Structure 1
Amino acid sequence: MAKAALDIARLSRDEQLDLLDELWSSLGRDPGEFPLSDAQRVELDRRLDELEAEGPIGLTWDEVVAQARARSR
């Protein structure tokens, strides 16, 4: 059975952002599907050490989505 194509252009901005959020979340469900190179692992460890030392900076995902939605209106 063939899947029906999704016409993204027909979705509202909020629906597009919800779809993007759902797709992004689905990619992270199985980290084993995205193995890291040695260089990537070293960089990730460095960033995690920096985060532990300095604490979080920037925006939460919810804040980013809220700002994106506010701009699209």
Structure 2
Amino acid sequence: MAYPYDSTVSAAIKRAGLPKSHKVHWSEQRKADVVRAVRDKLITFDEARWRYLLSRSEFRTWEEKVDQQEAKEIA
């Protein structure tokens, strides 16, 4: 479980500033926020897939873009 037992997924999503559902405009920043939330274990990968209706390949594409952006910032 990615969040304390006395918390909920919705509370974790709200704390992370993530969209409530998949019905949003997916800017690059929002995609990156979801990727970072999963990596930081604020929500699980499966929770992100369910809530935002993501396929594994779509999430991987988002991850690759985040990795590329972070590499640019380091260079």
Q: TM-score, length-normalised on structure 2?
A: 0.30
The higher-RCO structure (CA 8 Å, 6+ apart) is: 1
Q: TM-score, length-normalised on structure 1?
A: 0.30
CA radius of gyration, larger in: 1
